[in-house]
Chains A and B, each alone.
Chain A
Amino acid sequence: MGRKRKASESEAEEAFEKEKENEEYRNKQQQQKKNAGEIVPSMIRNKERRSEVHAKLKHQKKVEKRKKIQARDAAEKRALELGEEPQPRSVPRTIENTRELDETVCKPDDEELFAGNDADEFSVVLKREGTAKVLITTARFNSTRGPAFISELLSVIPNAHYYKRGTYDLKKIVEYAKNKDFTSIVVVHTNRREPDALLIMGVPDGPTAHFKLSKLVLRKDIKNHGNPTSHKPELVLTNFTTRLGHRIGRLIQSLFPQDPNFRGRRVVTFHNQRDFIFFRHHRYIFESKESKETNSEGKKAKDAKLAKAPQEKVVARLQECGPRFTLKLISLQHGTFDTKGGEYEWVHKPEMDTSRRRFFL
């Protein structure tokens, strides 16, 4: 109990103290019981009581949180009224914004980067000196979801042509594509009737990127999906920051024509987050809506002079169409497909995974 007893104290005092100690001890035990009941509901064996306590705790937390937010909003409002600067809102700490420092992140003022871009394999397509032409093929065995996925890819990528794989070697197909002036090859690899890998290859001498493909959702499985038109889509590439990411971004960019039909209002997104590349395909529309008139009469009269101008509000609406999937880079090979004699620009190795906050794209 942490109490030191002095040697030169009278007996009465001693007794008194003992009593006190006992009392304290009892109190503490009770508190502990209480605490235990409050903090760890998993200690309670009775399920009904446990869930009850758990729900109570959860509710408490919710209420506290709401109170906190209300207090913050009130403080902000007060600050605004007083004409002060409101306290800056704290930014939550996420894995992305505590990312490990990476010296390969591209900087906009890097002239070598642009010189490198001009010299790389995709510059012909990206400078609009040639048109993108894509050959899509599969692995040797291909069924159910594979063909469905490919037919959707064909609708996503303009000027894409599907060729049956047959029993050709991939190297032979690369040769063929070179002769026919294709600019890229996409190979969908299927395992157990489920597409699980994607190979994107620049032709004639572009790099070969090998992606793991997961979470594939086809168009018909998306609720309220739209059907894409045959316009050339707009392309959104986000978060490709490092040199490697930049290169992958350019590789993906070279699959699509560089002159989108904005009339089509069709957008294809490759979003990189924590080295996973999320693919989405949307149609969008700008709708001008009249602003909602939920305000009370009295207020409206007050604001009438002020709020007459922004009467019409433009709202962007999205409708998802086309497949939805996630890619993860496994390797980037220099040159076209060559598993035996190929040189890699980047390979994922297990020793790289020593930190959760290290990203390569």
Chain B
Amino acid sequence: MPRTTTIECPGCPPLRALTFDVLGLIKVIEAQGTQGGIPKVVERWGEPDSSKCVLAASINDRKIDPLLAVARKGGMIEVCSPINGDVRFTVSNVSDASLRPEDDAVVGLHLFSRQKLELTSRSCTLFTCTTKGNASMRSIEITDSPEGSASVGSSRTWSVCASGNILCTKVDASENYALFGGKGVEVNMWDLENCTKIWAAKSPPKNSLDIFSPTWFTSATFMSKDDHRKIVAGTNNHQVRLYDISAQRRPVISFDFRETPIKAVAEDLDGYTVYIGNGSGDLASVDMRTGKLLGCFLGKCSGSIRSIARHPELPVIASCGLDSYIRIWDIKTRQLLSAVFLKQHLTNVVFDSNFADKEVAPLADPPLNAEQIANENEISDDEETLPVKRKKASKKEEGSKKKKKKKATKENASEVPEENEESEKVALKEKKGSKKLKPKKRSKRSKYEMVDDAP
């Protein structure tokens, strides 16, 4: 018999991910079942049209009224619902009429999850940045008109760089700071409140052969949620650098990874692990405290990685890129959980973290008929007050699901703490380990400083 090797895919926990591709399609991937669900494409939004290629995407996955912002090639930004894909409104990002939108493509997009106090709950704030360095912040009021038009409440535009191209931008978890980097642009950080530059990196010194590698950042991210001072950036000449803005302007740690440019960097929740993906499809996790490679994610991935997303709760990451697969990996074992072929070159992937709650609901479905009817009445009341406009057919089902969601969350909540405790223990151990490491690190740092001072 022919020997056929099957790629072992144990399947992944219930999750929901959205991918964006060059034809402007948004595909929803869902894995169902508690153990070993095989993810499938459940929905596809939009018509294939290369002029609507997705450049950047950002999700705000709060429990009530989640939003998804998608920047497209023509300079349009769509804000839609990640649940059913209905477009709420579109905003044009073309600020200068003389510039064609193709020349000044959007590179970074962030949808603010934090609400500003003075604004009503019906508005959202968008942050965008283009390749030419035109950053803008605007808050948008959602009006109730059926066409989904929106009025721009307040907007601020400023220029981040005078020359060069911005290639990567990121907003930190507290949403007060943003960082930019690109071709010919050193990594710099801006305060979004006042629109002022608070820090800029310094290029590393020439090497022993007197060769200076030109600045070309391809990816950057903040290292932990509650600290905006540590930045990890990947460069075009396959270097990964750690900057600490409280310490110095030159990188604290810098190391090489393989041979092709670092195209994607994503941080873990623990605040020191970083996932890096490069131009030839290698994905690895690195401990940034020491700069040591923890391990590579081995799978038959052969196309450049464009985007890595960390699931906010489950120990899972997703990567996607030019090989048109979305791959879901386990963090601890670094094993490929599953891969889905999506036919197009993918540009972005995001997780919808509210999905797990939804999925437990249908199991409890059949015996609840009487309650359902009762619930529906309440919900229809609720529904009217909600600002969301939804299709009528899906109204009832979703409403009933929501009710059950709460129950489900309770069930989940009872399960989760045990895991948390364990992970905490592990974290503690690791902390001890890190303490031991610290003196070493310091000495390293001081060395770096010495070197910096020397020339």
Using a CB–CB cutoff of 8 Å, the interface residues on chain A facing chain B are 93, 98, 100-101, 103-104, 110-113, 115-116, 118-119, 243, 334, 340-349, 351-352, 354-358
Contacts and interface: CB of A to CB of B under 8 A. Distances in A.
Contact of A112 (B3, B260, B281, B343): B343
A111 B343 contact: no
A55 B194 CA distance: 93
Interface stretch (B286-294, B296-304, B406-414): B296-304
A343 B23 contact: no
B5 A344 contact: no
Contacts of B280: 344, 347
Given A104-B341, A110-B343, A119-B50, A355 B300 contact: no
B111 to A, nearest CB: 27
B303 A100 contact: no
- Among A113, A118, A346, the one with the most B-chain Cβ atoms within 10 Å of its Cβ is A346
27 contacts: A100-B4, A100-B5, A112-B48, A112-B343, A115-B50, A116-B48, A118-B50, A119-B22, A119-B23, A334-B304, A340-B237, A340-B261, A341-B236, A342-B260, A344-B281, A344-B303, A344-B304, A345-B322, A345-B323, A346-B302, A347-B302, A349-B300, A349-B302, A351-B298, A355-B4, A355-B5, A357-B3
A345 B324 CA distance: 9
A116 B23 contact: yes
A355 B345 CA distance: 26
Given A93-B2, A341-B236, A351-B300, A112 B324 contact: no
Nearest to A98: B2
A306 B394 CA distance: 70
Contacts of A348: 302
A355 B4 CA distance: 7
Given A93-B2, A341-B279, A347-B280, 17 more contacts: A100-B5, A103-B341, A104-B341, A111-B48, A113-B343, A119-B23, A243-B343, A334-B322, A340-B237, A343-B279, A343-B322, A345-B303, A346-B302, A348-B302, A351-B298, A355-B3, A355-B4
Contacts of A93: 2
B112 interface: no
A139 to B, nearest CB: 21
Interface of B is mostly: loop
A116 B344 contact: yes
Contacts of B351: none
Interface in B3-31: 3-5, 22-23, 25
Contacts of A243: 324, 343
B323 A346 contact: yes
B216 interface: yes
Interface of B: 2-5, 22-23, 25, 48-50, 216, 236-237, 260-261, 263, 279-281, 298, 300, 302-304, 322-324, 341, 343-345
A352 B4 contact: no
A343 B304 contact: yes
A253 B23 CA distance: 23
Contacts of B303: 344-346
A356 B281 CA distance: 22
Nearest to B339: A103
Contacts of B49: 115, 119
Given A341-B216, A357-B2, A352 B261 contact: no
A116 B281 CA distance: 22
A116 B53 CA distance: 11
A331 to B, nearest CB: 8
Nearest to B321: A343
- Among B4, B216, B298, the one with the most A-chain Cβ atoms within 10 Å of its Cβ is B4
A351 B280 CA distance: 14
Contacts of A341: 216, 236-237, 261, 279
A343 B48 contact: no
Contacts of A98: 2, 4
Contacts of A351: 298, 300
Contacts of A349: 281, 300, 302
A115 B343 CA distance: 11
A356 B341 CA distance: 22
Which 7 residue pairs spanning A and B have beta carbons closest together? A119-B50, A115-B48, A343-B304, A98-B2, A343-B279, A345-B322, A341-B236
A103 to B, nearest CB: 5
Contacts of B50: 115, 118-119
Contact of A347 (B263, B281, B343, B344): B281
A345 B303 CA distance: 4
A106 to B, nearest CB: 9
Contacts of B279: 341-344
A344 B302 contact: yes
Contacts of A356: 3
A341 B280 CA distance: 10
A356 B5 CA distance: 10
Contacts of A346: 302-303, 323
Contacts of B343: 110, 112-113, 116, 243
Nearest to B218: A341
Contacts of A100: 4-5
B29 to A, nearest CB: 14
A111 B25 CA distance: 13
A344 B324 contact: no
B23 A112 contact: yes
A340 B279 CA distance: 10
